[in-house]
Structure 1
Amino acid sequence: MMRYRSCLILALTIGVAHIAIAQDAKPNYDESKIPAYTLPDPLAGIESAAQWPARRKQILEQFAAEMFGKVPTDKFNAISVKDAGTRKQVLGGKATMWQPVITLAGRDLNLLVVMPTDSQQAPAFLAYNFHGNHTVLDDADIPLTKNWVRSKPDNRAREEDRGSAASRWAVEKIIDNGFALVTLYYGDVDPDVDDGFENGVHAAFPDKPAADQWGSIATWAWGLSRVLDFLGTVPEIDETRVAVMGHSRLGKTSLWAGANDERFALVISNNSGCGGAAISRRRIGESVARINTSFPHWFCDNFLKYNDNESQLPFDQHMLIALMAPRPVYVASAVEDTWADPRGEFLAAKHATPVYELLGREGLPADEMPAVDEPSQGSIGYHIRSGGHSVTEFDWTQYIKFAKRHLMNEQ
């Protein structure tokens, strides 16, 4: 594939030809084998809150150039509404569902909106789903996606998948607590496959991404901002109270979306691991080399320079979390999800705390990693729950509580 060949060529030119060896190496899960490291200081050279915006801009630009990739142009930012969608009552009448279709860079994005019936300026959770809107709710009026779908026979959606991911969404709980849910299939924006960026919104751009330009995660994040543009035209949803949420690779995406677009009022990372909330320098579980080899389309080509070379990163993931400050951000881990390095996710949240404190916020209250299923919530929230790599009812209970505190002023 074109993208993979370009990655290999770049890797060889920067002297990291052992990338294949790194992929085959057994991952480390032993804390005693973590290499000695020093984290960069997000507040380097900063003495007052007034100096933070300039430092924030510097950190954001470093992440864009060296990891996620820059959006090459804003030429295609404009969205248009292709289909306003027909509204219908669901969940016994307590919620209204509708499915607007917006067009971005020549690509149709099919949204699923579920909001409290008769809502007035409701806050909302915005999140991508992995296999199509029809997996979130079992409703015959939700069409199957026609786009490429990972981990499915022939990479196509099936009728039997309806409602298959409902347990991950807690839609009724979201509605009962006064929030709307807005979701869309991430493959509508860019297919999650190393295809040389021939498909998705990239097809609208004349050139393939340069070494410092967007990979798929940055593209998905850009798409979330365009959906937020649309939500600004929806009277029933308060665009100033939108929480962006994501799980796994989409947790990495929600963090990057929140870092780039300060209109997102609250940011949630669920089990995002390497390249998301976990400290890269720890090199435990999934590493930079392994993620770049397994998913070469996720990040920009410049990120290859840090394969087995994390100590040379000009940043680490605590600084990504700090880019949300002073807005609330929640990081969640799971005990059995060792691949995502739960302790590294906690440490990143904790090491972002000084930035929040500089800006007059509490940060993460816990001094030590909290006990399992016992959340710690300040302006930064964190929990490690029982179970594995997923989104559960417990996770949503904490996110709703956190969002009600910060977006509804409810304690």
Structure 2
Amino acid sequence: MSSSLPAQQEKVIYDEAEIPKFTLPDPLVAEDGTKIESAQQWNETQRPYLLGLFEREVYGKAPAAPEKIEYQVTESSDEALDGKARRRQVAIQLTDDPDGPVLNVLMYLPKTDKPVPTFMTLNFYGNASIHPDPAIHLPEGWLRNNKEYGVEDHKATEKLRGQSQGRWPVDLILENGYGLATAYYGDIDPDFDDGFQNGIHPYFYAEGQKKPKPEEWGSIAAWAWGLSRAMDYLEQSPEIASDQVIVMGHSRLGKTALWAGAVEPRFAAVISNNSGCGGAALSRRRFGESVKRINTSFPHWFNDNFTKYNHNEDACPVDQHELIALVAPRPCLVCSAVGDRWADPRGEYLSAKYASPVYELLGVEGLKAEEMPSVDEPALSRLGYAIRPGKHDVMRIDWERYIEFADNHVTGK
């Protein structure tokens, strides 16, 4: 009988009736049982405590920023996309080592003399994949092989250009007065498990250190740290409204966007799309992708401490509604898709719902949806939730909602 136990434990739950009973930690109850009843208590005590728990037990603590950020504008045009946009390509040095990793940021900005609100995002296949514009630099680092995208031997070819453009409606973003800033996440840390020997991690090891300590940063925390370095640049750019930068991410980069929003207060708003386990979905539900499954398939994403919660979610001192609560009182939009059951759409909604009391404590609007919103009837409140038909992807309709959400809660259009 015991030999069948691991197989039973690995069974993927897709039925609400099979979800085990669980109790969520209350974000408004302190470690000693004290009720958090004021914004001051939250900001001075509870928020730092919860942030520390997520650093120690889930994502890992990242190092401080380099003392000085070095960057170089590698290409610039005020007549991009047939004269409709400005294009900027910027190389950001991520460490003090001139031979260290470089984050290459591509920006498309509407043609205006005013600083523009901007979506800051990471992409999966390099900047050239988001648009067929021949002026975009091809990525030079490691890429996941993809024959359809022209990636072989982990290297980009010209075939890569525009392969992901369906996820990036640059025209829609620009027409609505927003800029788009994007960078390839692999510039920060290539997305495969090599024991943290490549990417950003080795540049911060102590003498003799070979890998991060159990409480130190995994790849998601590294990608979030890279988003902060991009923000360092955007903050000093006169073309960007630096108080109106919205961090957005899809899938594993949706997890990254949420964590970046939690640790980086300069992001004005946070949008996660289909972020699932380790993102917006409640871990304790164990619906679709579980903690054990994600830690097994992607052992480099989280810190080593997080493996303690494989098949042991109830023992974790935090759950993902508290991650969303760490974004408060800033706007946060959680987006799901009906066909993406692996990411547990209901669990993503419930995270927003159970984060809502923190928003309300801080004197702003929480989630305006007592029940899970119907498909294509988004609740675009300050803490919002939307679910659409279709699969695990980013679609034009998603961007339409991101823009409406930003209009309502960031720019006040």
Shorter-chain TM-score: which interval?
A: over 0.9
Tell me the distance in 2 between the aligned counterparts of 1:367 and 1:224. 33
Cα deviation, residue 202, structure 1 = 1.6
Q: Deviations over 1:235-256 (max 9, x none)?
A: 0101111000000000000000
Tell me the distance in 2 between the aligned counterparts of 1:29 and 1:68. 26
1:309 aligned partner: 312
Cα deviation, residue 81, structure 1 = 1.2
Tell me the distance in 2 between the aligned counterparts of 1:319 and 1:22. 31
Tell me the distance in 2 between the aligned counterparts of 1:97 and 1:22. 52
Q: Out of 369, 373, 380, which is 1:370 matched to?
A: 373
SS at match of 2:64: coil
Q: Deviations over 1:348-374 (max 9, x none)?
A: 001100001111111110111111011
2:107 aligned partner: 113
For the pair 1:270 / 2:273, whether they are aligned, the reply is yes
The 5-angstrom pairing of residues 201-216 of structure 1 reads 201-206=200-205, 207=209, 208-216=211-219
Alpha-carbon spacing, 1:394–1:22, altered in 2? closer, same or farther (3 Å): farther
Cα deviation, residue 83, structure 1 = 3.5
1:160 aligned partner: 159
The 5-angstrom pairing of residues 8-407 of structure 1 reads 21=6, 25-44=10-29, 45-53=35-43, 54-71=45-62, 73-74=63-64, 76=66, 78-105=68-95, 106-152=100-146, 153-206=152-205, 207=209, 208-407=211-410
Tell me the distance in 2 between the aligned counterparts of 1:405 and 1:113. 23
Which amino acid letter does the alignment assign opposite residue 115 of structure 1? L
Alpha carbons 1:78, 1:104 under 8 Å: kept: no
Alpha-carbon spacing, 1:406–1:55, altered in 2? closer, same or farther (3 Å): same
Normalising by the residue count of structure 2, what TM-score does the alignment of the two structures yield?
0.92
Tell me the distance in 2 between the aligned counterparts of 1:398 and 1:89. 28
SS at match of 1:91: helix
Over aligned residue pairs, what C-alpha RMSD do you find? 1.6
Normalising by the residue count of structure 1, what TM-score does the alignment of the two structures yield?
0.92
Greater alpha carbon shift after TM alignment, 288-297 vs 83-92:
83-92
Structure 1, unaligned runs of 5 or more:
1-17
Which amino acid letter does the alignment assign opposite residue 200 of structure 2? V
Tell me the distance in 2 between the aligned counterparts of 1:302 and 1:61. 13
Q: Deviations over 1:325-354 (max 9, x none)?
A: 100000000000000000000000011000
Tell me the distance in 1 between the aligned counterparts of 2:166 and 2:37. 46
Alpha carbons 1:91, 1:172 under 8 Å: kept: no
Tell me the distance in 1 between the aligned counterparts of 2:7 and 2:326. 30
Tell me the distance in 1 between the aligned counterparts of 2:197 and 2:267. 30
Alpha carbons 2:9, 2:311 under 8 Å: kept: no
Cα deviation, residue 376, structure 1 = 0.3
Tell me the distance in 1 between the aligned counterparts of 2:90 and 2:131. 16
SS at match of 1:218: helix
Alpha carbons 1:215, 1:300 under 8 Å: kept: yes
Tell me the distance in 1 between the aligned counterparts of 2:68 and 2:276. 32
Which amino acid letter does the alignment assign opposite residue 277 of structure 1? A
Alpha-carbon spacing, 1:337–1:151, altered in 2? closer, same or farther (3 Å): farther
Tell me the distance in 2 between the aligned counterparts of 1:310 and 1:185. 32
Alpha-carbon spacing, 1:290–1:393, altered in 2? closer, same or farther (3 Å): same
Alpha-carbon spacing, 1:24–1:34, altered in 2? closer, same or farther (3 Å): closer
Tell me the distance in 2 between the aligned counterparts of 1:379 and 1:93. 35
Which amino acid letter does the alignment assign opposite residue 37 of structure 2? E
Structure 2, unaligned runs of 5 or more:
30-34, 147-151
Alpha-carbon spacing, 1:313–1:357, altered in 2? closer, same or farther (3 Å): same
Tell me the distance in 1 between the aligned counterparts of 2:190 and 2:213. 19
SS at match of 2:237: coil
Greater alpha carbon shift after TM alignment, 100-109 vs 127-136:
100-109
Which amino acid letter does the alignment assign opposite residue 74 of structure 1? A
Cα deviation, residue 24, structure 1 = 8.6
Greater alpha carbon shift after TM alignment, 170-179 vs 84-93:
84-93
Alpha-carbon spacing, 1:344–1:125, altered in 2? closer, same or farther (3 Å): same
Cα deviation, residue 170, structure 1 = 1.2
SS at match of 1:200: coil
Alpha carbons 1:317, 1:348 under 8 Å: kept: yes
Which amino acid letter does the alignment assign opposite residue 174 of structure 1? I
Which amino acid letter does the alignment assign opposite residue 320 of structure 2? Q
Cα deviation, residue 75, structure 1 = 6.1
Identity rate of aligned residues, in percent? 55
Cα deviation, residue 135, structure 1 = 0.6
